[in-house]
Every structure is written in C-alpha cells, then in structure tokens.
Amino acid sequence: MFKFSKRIGIDLGTANSLVYLGGEGIVLNEPTVVAVSTIDNRVLAVGNEAKEMIGRTPGNITATKPMRDGVIADYVITEALLRFFIDKICGQSRVFKPEVMVCVPAGVTSVERRAVMDATLSAGAKVAYLIDEPLAAAIGSNIPIANPSGNMIVDIGGGTTEAAVISLGGVVVHNSTRVGGNKVDDAITTYVRKKYGLIIGEHQSEAIKKTIGNALHPKTSEIKSMEVRGRDGATGLPRTIVLSSEEATIAMQDPLKKIIGAVKAVLEQTPPELASDIIDKGIVMSGGTSQINNLDKLMTQETGVPCHIAENPLFSVVLGTGIALENLDLYKRSVSKR
C-alpha cells in the first residue's frame, strides 16, 4: 500500500536538533535555538541563524534554548521549533500530516513525556511516537538490541548523559544525569573567570572545549594552547589571554567526574549475567560530547571496562529514531504512541 504521509524522526537535543526523513536519511542539523521578538512573541529565527544572535541581540529580541537538560523548558517555543522542522520538510500547505517520532531521555517523567507528545501533535503531526534516547542511540550505533545479551550504551549530549544496559529490545538498567556538554562549557567559563578575571561567552567556552579540551592530563609534548578573548571583569574592557590544554583539563574535571559517576551507577546495578556480556563487548559511547579528546580512555581507566566511540556519535540517536520509525513492527514494544 502506498503511503502518502511522510515519516519524520526528530532528535530534539539540548544543543542540536537533527531531523531524519524516512527514505532519505538525515535532512536537517540545526542548533536548538529560537530567536523571539519580545514585543509580539513572534518567532524571528530558528537554528543556525538564531544561534548567531546569542549574546548579540538588542533588547526587543531574545535568543533562547527551549530545551534544558534534555526536556522542554519552554513549551510554546518548543512547539514553534517542531513546527518549523515539520514545515521545512513537508511544506506549510500539506494535505497529509506526517507521522513523527521524537526521542526523549529515559529518565523523564510522564508529565514531561506528555509535554513532548502534545507539542508534536500541536505542531502538525498526525501521530506522535516517543522512543527512549538510549534505545535510539543503540539502534543507531548498530547494536543488536533484540538479542538476549547485555549491551551498554552511554549517550552524552548537550544537556544530559544517559547510560543504559539494553537486552531483548528493552532498557534493563538506566541512569540519567543532567550533566552534558553545556555543563562542561559552564565549568570552563567559571575557571577562566576565577583564574583570570575574564568573562567569556558560550561560543568561546565551546571553542576551548573542542580545540584544546582533553579529558586526560596531556603529556608535556602534547600541550596545546589557544588565544581566548573576553571582557575583563574588573575594567570591563576587552582582553585576550592564552589558555593551555592542561588548564582546560583541570577546568573540565568536575562535570566529567559526574558523567563517569552515572556510568558507574549503572554498572553497579547491572545483573551479573549482563555484566559479563558488557565486559566482553565493552561500552559504546555516543552523543556529541563523547568526542571530547580522550574521554573514552578516561572512561576505560575509571570503570575498568573497555569503551569505544560509536561510528557516527553525533548522529546515532537520530539514525536510531529513523530506523525505529521505518521498522515500527520490529520496535513497537520499545515505542509509545499517541
């Protein structure tokens, strides 16, 4: 039977949102940022265009992130964001409403789940499906989740870290901590302010993390440095300092410890049979923040379990969401529908 309605999978992340279109693959990858006019509450820009406005807007425009710690912080703006994605793919005058699957952190409450469902339906979906983020990440990382053996996935996004042990198509043990890439950026901002009295913005702290950030203390020969520009806390004037990768490592220690703590908590609760499977196969890491230099080595060192990064860590969740949507019969036990 020919299907007229499109199938759309959305990974609504705290930092980035990715959209998968059935039959085509990933069609959109935009920052989860919306610029709104404070005068009439009109949405002025979404995604990359809105991200450029953060910290640079006049008084009558605010650039906000509607998702905080992986859940909806601003319902109206999240709905506008979902509508923008659906309109961009299906066109504004659509005859057939699409089927939409959104992934949510495994640790969210039933109220938060309902909020995502409602926002998706209000944004123009015919049917809304929800899938847990660790399951989507595991499917997208090519982990055979239906087998009766333990697989462990750690998805480290912008707002949350989800660690889960999956067997027979379901989550056996999971732990979620609201610490991710954003908290790492905040830790760098705080460190630079305390040590150098320099106030830096979001873009700058993210650039430090990506350019010279290292989860392990670098060897003397591997120490890199970069120029950091910001505003002097005392004089209020622009100033530039040079920051080393050793300092970036020190700045990031606290949030990284919390992420590893979440992983350890899952390993402690894992049934012995599944634990032995995980030691054999190792832990798979996905999510943009898993790409921090040497984070997989630090995780291996701290847990004693081999860790490796998924093939497409940034896209694992959205690919898994798309695969689950295209094969609903296979994954219907893992998905909730409305």
Going by the annotation, the residues of the binding site for ATP are: 14-16, 158-160, 206-209
Q: What's the CA angle centered on 183, arms 178 and 187, to 5 degrees?
A: 145
11 beta partners: 18
The span from the CA of 246 to the CA of 223, in Å, is: 7
Whether 72 and 112 have beta carbons less than 8 Å apart is answered as yes
- 3-state SS, 163-225, equals EEEEECCEEEEEEEECCCHHHHHHHHHHHHHHHHCEECCHHHHHHHHHHHCCCCCCCHHHCCE
Binding residues: 14-16, 158-160, 206-209
The pair phi, psi for residue 235, each rounded to 5°, is -95, -20
Task: Report the DSSP pairing between strands 127-132 and 99-104.
Answer: parallel
Task: Report the DSSP pairing between strands 283-286 and 307-309.
Answer: parallel
The span from the CA of 335 to the CA of 156, in Å, is: 21
The span from the CA of 111 to the CA of 232, in Å, is: 43
Those residues whose C-beta lies under 8 Å from the C-beta of residue 330, and which sit 6 or more positions away, are 146, 324
